[in-house]
Amino acid sequence: MDVIDLAPEHYDVFACCLEDWSDEAKEGAPRRAAWVARMADQGLRAKLAVDDDGVVGGMIQYLPIERTWVEGEGLYFVPCTWVHGYRKGRGDRRKRGLGRALLEAAEADARSLGATGMAAWGLWLPIWMRASWYRKHGYRRADRQGMAVLVWKPFTPEALPPRWSRAPLRLPEPVPGTVQVVAFATGWCMALNMGIERALAAAAELGDAVDVRVMDTTDPAVVAAWGRRGDALYVDGREVTLGPPPSYEKIHGILAKRVKRLARAGR
Protein backbone atom coordinates (compact mmCIF):
# COMPACT_ATOMS: atom_id res chain seq x y z
CA MET A 1 0.00 0.00 0.00
CA ASP A 2 1.20 3.51 -0.85
CA VAL A 3 0.26 6.86 0.67
CA ILE A 4 0.28 9.65 -1.90
CA ASP A 5 -0.50 13.37 -1.95
CA LEU A 6 -3.82 14.44 -3.39
CA ALA A 7 -3.35 15.27 -7.08
CA PRO A 8 -5.73 16.75 -9.69
CA GLU A 9 -6.57 13.35 -11.17
CA HIS A 10 -8.16 12.39 -7.85
CA TYR A 11 -10.04 15.64 -7.12
CA ASP A 12 -13.44 14.28 -8.20
CA VAL A 13 -13.26 11.11 -6.14
CA PHE A 14 -11.88 13.07 -3.18
CA ALA A 15 -14.80 15.52 -3.38
CA CYS A 16 -17.31 12.69 -2.96
CA CYS A 17 -15.24 10.95 -0.25
CA LEU A 18 -14.38 7.94 -2.46
CA GLU A 19 -18.09 7.22 -2.94
CA ASP A 20 -18.18 8.02 -6.66
CA TRP A 21 -20.58 5.09 -7.08
CA SER A 22 -23.24 6.86 -4.98
CA ASP A 23 -25.73 9.34 -6.45
CA GLU A 24 -26.44 10.57 -2.92
CA ALA A 25 -22.78 11.37 -2.29
CA LYS A 26 -22.71 13.45 -5.44
CA GLU A 27 -25.31 15.78 -3.91
CA GLY A 28 -22.74 17.03 -1.42
CA ALA A 29 -19.66 16.82 -3.65
CA PRO A 30 -19.85 20.24 -5.38
CA ARG A 31 -19.87 22.18 -2.10
CA ARG A 32 -17.01 20.03 -0.83
CA ALA A 33 -15.02 20.59 -4.04
CA ALA A 34 -15.51 24.34 -3.58
CA TRP A 35 -14.19 24.04 0.00
CA VAL A 36 -11.09 22.19 -1.21
CA ALA A 37 -10.40 24.87 -3.83
CA ARG A 38 -11.03 27.68 -1.32
CA MET A 39 -8.81 26.21 1.39
CA ALA A 40 -5.94 25.11 -0.86
CA ASP A 41 -4.09 28.37 -0.31
CA GLN A 42 -4.88 28.35 3.42
CA GLY A 43 -2.86 25.27 4.26
CA LEU A 44 -5.22 22.41 3.44
CA ARG A 45 -3.32 19.14 2.95
CA ALA A 46 -4.67 15.75 1.91
CA LYS A 47 -3.32 12.27 1.32
CA LEU A 48 -4.76 9.14 -0.24
CA ALA A 49 -4.05 5.48 0.53
CA VAL A 50 -3.64 3.33 -2.57
CA ASP A 51 -4.10 -0.38 -1.88
CA ASP A 52 -1.94 -3.11 -3.38
CA ASP A 53 -4.40 -3.54 -6.25
CA GLY A 54 -4.07 0.13 -7.23
CA VAL A 55 -7.42 1.23 -5.82
CA VAL A 56 -7.69 4.40 -3.71
CA GLY A 57 -9.21 3.03 -0.53
CA GLY A 58 -8.66 5.75 2.08
CA MET A 59 -8.10 9.46 2.58
CA ILE A 60 -7.15 12.01 5.21
CA GLN A 61 -7.39 15.80 5.20
CA TYR A 62 -5.74 18.21 7.63
CA LEU A 63 -5.08 21.92 7.87
CA PRO A 64 -3.91 24.58 10.33
CA ILE A 65 -6.30 24.64 13.25
CA GLU A 66 -6.58 28.42 12.95
CA ARG A 67 -8.43 27.83 9.63
CA THR A 68 -11.01 25.51 11.17
CA TRP A 69 -14.01 25.62 13.51
CA VAL A 70 -11.87 24.48 16.46
CA GLU A 71 -10.04 26.87 18.76
CA GLY A 72 -6.31 26.26 18.97
CA GLU A 73 -2.88 27.52 18.02
CA GLY A 74 0.08 25.95 16.23
CA LEU A 75 -1.66 22.62 15.65
CA TYR A 76 -2.89 20.89 12.53
CA PHE A 77 -6.46 19.60 12.68
CA VAL A 78 -7.85 16.47 11.01
CA PRO A 79 -11.51 16.93 10.01
CA CYS A 80 -11.69 13.40 8.63
CA THR A 81 -9.81 10.15 8.24
CA TRP A 82 -11.86 7.86 6.03
CA VAL A 83 -11.37 4.33 4.76
CA HIS A 84 -13.96 3.09 2.28
CA GLY A 85 -16.13 0.55 4.10
CA TYR A 86 -18.94 -0.29 1.67
CA ARG A 87 -19.22 -3.37 -0.48
CA LYS A 88 -20.28 -1.23 -3.42
CA GLY A 89 -17.79 0.65 -5.54
CA ARG A 90 -14.28 0.15 -4.17
CA GLY A 91 -15.34 -2.53 -1.74
CA ASP A 92 -14.58 -2.76 1.96
CA ARG A 93 -10.98 -1.56 2.48
CA ARG A 94 -11.00 -1.63 6.28
CA LYS A 95 -8.71 -3.77 8.46
CA ARG A 96 -5.78 -3.37 6.06
CA GLY A 97 -3.85 -0.65 7.91
CA LEU A 98 -4.85 2.16 5.56
CA GLY A 99 -6.13 4.44 8.32
CA ARG A 100 -3.01 4.02 10.43
CA ALA A 101 -0.74 4.67 7.45
CA LEU A 102 -2.67 7.81 6.52
CA LEU A 103 -2.56 9.21 10.05
CA GLU A 104 1.15 8.53 10.42
CA ALA A 105 1.89 10.19 7.08
CA ALA A 106 -0.20 13.24 8.01
CA GLU A 107 1.53 13.55 11.39
CA ALA A 108 4.96 13.35 9.77
CA ASP A 109 3.97 16.02 7.27
CA ALA A 110 2.57 18.29 9.99
CA ARG A 111 5.78 17.93 12.00
CA SER A 112 7.82 18.91 8.96
CA LEU A 113 5.66 22.02 8.59
CA GLY A 114 6.44 23.09 12.16
CA ALA A 115 3.20 22.04 13.87
CA THR A 116 3.37 21.68 17.65
CA GLY A 117 0.81 18.88 17.57
CA MET A 118 -2.12 17.25 15.81
CA ALA A 119 -5.80 17.44 16.74
CA ALA A 120 -8.79 15.49 15.49
CA TRP A 121 -12.35 14.76 16.47
CA GLY A 122 -14.62 11.76 16.76
CA LEU A 123 -17.73 10.43 18.44
CA TRP A 124 -17.56 8.80 21.85
CA LEU A 125 -20.15 6.25 20.69
CA PRO A 126 -18.69 3.32 18.70
CA ILE A 127 -20.52 4.07 15.46
CA TRP A 128 -18.82 6.38 12.99
CA MET A 129 -15.68 8.54 13.28
CA ARG A 130 -14.84 6.92 16.59
CA ALA A 131 -12.72 8.97 18.98
CA SER A 132 -11.45 5.68 20.42
CA TRP A 133 -9.65 4.96 17.12
CA TYR A 134 -7.49 8.04 17.58
CA ARG A 135 -6.81 7.14 21.21
CA LYS A 136 -5.37 3.84 20.01
CA HIS A 137 -2.84 5.91 18.10
CA GLY A 138 -1.64 8.01 21.02
CA TYR A 139 -4.25 10.79 21.10
CA ARG A 140 -5.84 12.00 24.31
CA ARG A 141 -9.03 13.85 25.06
CA ALA A 142 -8.88 17.64 25.02
CA ASP A 143 -12.56 18.57 25.12
CA ARG A 144 -16.05 17.21 24.64
CA GLN A 145 -19.28 18.75 23.37
CA GLY A 146 -22.24 16.39 23.32
CA MET A 147 -21.23 13.25 21.45
CA ALA A 148 -18.28 14.97 19.78
CA VAL A 149 -14.89 14.41 21.41
CA LEU A 150 -11.90 16.58 20.55
CA VAL A 151 -8.61 14.69 20.81
CA TRP A 152 -5.01 15.72 20.30
CA LYS A 153 -1.40 14.56 20.24
CA PRO A 154 1.26 17.13 21.22
CA PHE A 155 4.55 17.00 19.34
CA THR A 156 6.40 19.53 21.52
CA PRO A 157 6.33 20.49 25.23
CA GLU A 158 4.98 23.96 24.46
CA ALA A 159 1.94 22.64 22.57
CA LEU A 160 -1.39 23.91 23.89
CA PRO A 161 -4.55 21.76 23.87
CA PRO A 162 -7.40 22.72 21.52
CA ARG A 163 -10.98 23.31 22.60
CA TRP A 164 -14.43 23.49 21.10
CA SER A 165 -15.75 27.00 20.65
CA ARG A 166 -18.35 28.03 23.19
CA ALA A 167 -19.23 31.38 21.68
CA PRO A 168 -22.96 32.09 22.02
CA LEU A 169 -24.98 31.46 18.87
CA ARG A 170 -26.81 34.34 17.22
CA LEU A 171 -29.32 33.99 14.40
CA PRO A 172 -30.54 36.67 11.98
CA GLU A 173 -33.82 38.38 12.76
CA PRO A 174 -36.61 36.42 11.06
CA VAL A 175 -38.57 38.00 8.23
CA PRO A 176 -42.20 38.32 9.40
CA GLY A 177 -44.58 35.95 7.68
CA THR A 178 -41.90 33.52 6.53
CA VAL A 179 -40.28 30.31 7.71
CA GLN A 180 -36.63 30.98 8.45
CA VAL A 181 -33.91 28.57 7.24
CA VAL A 182 -30.35 29.34 8.34
CA ALA A 183 -27.54 27.12 7.08
CA PHE A 184 -24.07 27.53 8.58
CA ALA A 185 -21.77 25.80 6.11
CA THR A 186 -18.06 25.21 5.68
CA GLY A 187 -18.33 22.60 2.94
CA TRP A 188 -15.68 20.24 4.30
CA CYS A 189 -17.99 17.24 4.80
CA MET A 190 -19.85 15.61 1.95
CA ALA A 191 -22.44 14.09 4.30
CA LEU A 192 -23.20 17.38 6.06
CA ASN A 193 -23.41 19.09 2.69
CA MET A 194 -26.09 16.64 1.60
CA GLY A 195 -28.43 17.79 4.36
CA ILE A 196 -27.81 21.45 3.62
CA GLU A 197 -28.34 21.02 -0.13
CA ARG A 198 -31.60 19.15 0.48
CA ALA A 199 -32.81 21.93 2.76
CA LEU A 200 -32.00 24.56 0.14
CA ALA A 201 -33.80 22.56 -2.55
CA ALA A 202 -36.89 22.09 -0.37
CA ALA A 203 -36.93 25.78 0.50
CA ALA A 204 -36.68 26.74 -3.17
CA GLU A 205 -39.67 24.54 -3.98
CA LEU A 206 -41.78 26.25 -1.33
CA GLY A 207 -40.95 29.68 -2.73
CA ASP A 208 -41.20 33.04 -0.99
CA ALA A 209 -42.79 31.53 2.11
CA VAL A 210 -39.30 30.44 3.17
CA ASP A 211 -36.50 32.91 3.91
CA VAL A 212 -33.08 31.27 3.41
CA ARG A 213 -29.75 32.47 4.76
CA VAL A 214 -26.50 30.61 4.01
CA MET A 215 -23.55 31.57 6.21
CA ASP A 216 -20.02 30.71 5.06
CA THR A 217 -18.31 29.73 8.30
CA THR A 218 -14.88 29.51 6.68
CA ASP A 219 -15.05 33.34 6.83
CA PRO A 220 -13.78 34.58 10.23
CA ALA A 221 -16.03 37.65 9.95
CA VAL A 222 -19.10 35.41 9.70
CA VAL A 223 -17.99 33.44 12.76
CA ALA A 224 -17.40 36.66 14.69
CA ALA A 225 -20.82 38.03 13.70
CA TRP A 226 -22.91 34.95 14.49
CA GLY A 227 -20.82 32.95 16.96
CA ARG A 228 -21.22 29.71 15.03
CA ARG A 229 -18.31 27.62 13.83
CA GLY A 230 -18.68 24.60 11.59
CA ASP A 231 -21.89 23.32 10.00
CA ALA A 232 -25.47 23.45 11.23
CA LEU A 233 -29.01 23.88 9.98
CA TYR A 234 -31.72 25.82 11.80
CA VAL A 235 -35.42 26.06 10.94
CA ASP A 236 -37.21 28.83 12.83
CA GLY A 237 -34.46 28.79 15.43
CA ARG A 238 -34.49 25.03 16.03
CA GLU A 239 -31.55 22.92 14.95
CA VAL A 240 -32.13 20.12 12.44
CA THR A 241 -29.64 17.29 12.89
CA LEU A 242 -27.41 16.86 9.84
CA GLY A 243 -25.86 13.54 10.76
CA PRO A 244 -26.81 11.13 9.39
CA PRO A 245 -28.04 13.29 6.49
CA PRO A 246 -31.81 13.85 6.72
CA SER A 247 -33.72 12.88 3.61
CA TYR A 248 -35.16 15.48 1.26
CA GLU A 249 -38.63 14.25 2.19
CA LYS A 250 -38.00 14.80 5.88
CA ILE A 251 -36.70 18.34 5.45
CA HIS A 252 -39.43 19.22 2.97
CA GLY A 253 -42.00 17.91 5.44
CA ILE A 254 -40.63 20.08 8.25
CA LEU A 255 -40.71 23.20 6.10
CA ALA A 256 -44.10 22.48 4.50
CA LYS A 257 -45.69 21.96 7.91
CA ARG A 258 -44.43 25.33 9.12
CA VAL A 259 -45.53 27.07 5.93
CA LYS A 260 -49.05 25.66 6.37
CA ARG A 261 -49.08 26.82 9.98
CA LEU A 262 -48.18 30.34 8.87
CA ALA A 263 -50.89 30.28 6.22
CA ARG A 264 -53.52 29.26 8.78
CA ALA A 265 -52.36 31.96 11.19
CA GLY A 266 -52.66 34.59 8.47
CA ARG A 267 -56.27 33.85 7.57
pLDDT tens-place string over residues 20-71: 999 999 999 999 999 999 999 999 999 999 988 889 999 999 999 999 999 9
Task: Flag whether pLDDT at 266 surpasses 80.
Answer: no
Closest CA to 84 of 123, 124, 118, 55: 55
Same domain, 147 and 110: yes
Mean per-residue pLDDT over the chain, rounded: 94
Same domain, 129 and 12: yes
- In total, how many domains does the chain have? 2
Structure confidence at residue 228 as a pLDDT band (50, 70, 90): confident
Residue 100 lies in a domain: yes
In angstroms, rounded to a whole number, what is the distance separating the alpha carbons of residues 60 and 18?
Answer: 11
Same domain, 158 and 185: no
Residue 173 lies in a domain: no
By the 8 A CB rule, do 77 and 64 touch? yes
Residue 170 lies in a domain: no
Same domain, 45 and 85: yes
Q: Of the residues 139, 164, 189, which one is the last residue of a structural domain? A: 164
Sheet holding 140-145: strands in order across?
2-5, 45-50, 56-64, 75-83, 117-123, 148-154, 140-145
Residue 7 lies in a domain: yes
Task: Flag whether pLDDT at 267 surpasses 70.
Answer: no
Task: Flag whether pLDDT at 127 surpasses 80.
Answer: no
Same domain, 183 and 128: no
Q: Of the residues 164, 187, 206, which one is the last residue of a structural domain? A: 164
Residue 172 lies in a domain: no
Residue 20 lies in a domain: yes
pLDDT of residue 129: 84
Residue 171 lies in a domain: no
Task: Flag whether pLDDT at 202 surpasses 60.
Answer: yes
In angstroms, rounded to a whole number, what is the distance separating the alpha carbons of residues 60 and 46?
Answer: 6
Peptide bond preceding 172: is omega within 30 degrees of 0, i.e. cis? no
Task: Flag whether pLDDT at 126 surpasses 80.
Answer: no
pLDDT of residue 29: 97
Residue 201 lies in a domain: yes
Closest CA to 186 of 217, 226, 220, 219: 217
> Which range of residues forms the domain containing residue 32?
2-164
Same domain, 117 and 193: no
Closest CA to 7 of 36, 38, 27: 36
Q: Of the residues 111, 140, 164, which one is the last residue of a structural domain? A: 164
Same domain, 63 and 113: yes
Same domain, 121 and 25: yes
The reported pTM is: 0.93
Tell me the CATH number at 196: 3.40.30.10
3-state DSSP helix/strand/coil percent for the chain, to nearest 5? 35, 30, 35
- Classified as helix, coil or strand, 28 is helix
Same domain, 68 and 152: yes
Same domain, 139 and 79: yes
Structure confidence at residue 128 as a pLDDT band (50, 70, 90): confident
In angstroms, rounded to a whole number, what is the distance separating the alpha carbons of residues 71 and 242?
Answer: 22
pLDDT of residue 189: 95
- For 156-176, the pLDDT digits (tens) are 999 999 999 988 999 999 999
Rg (CA), the chain: 20
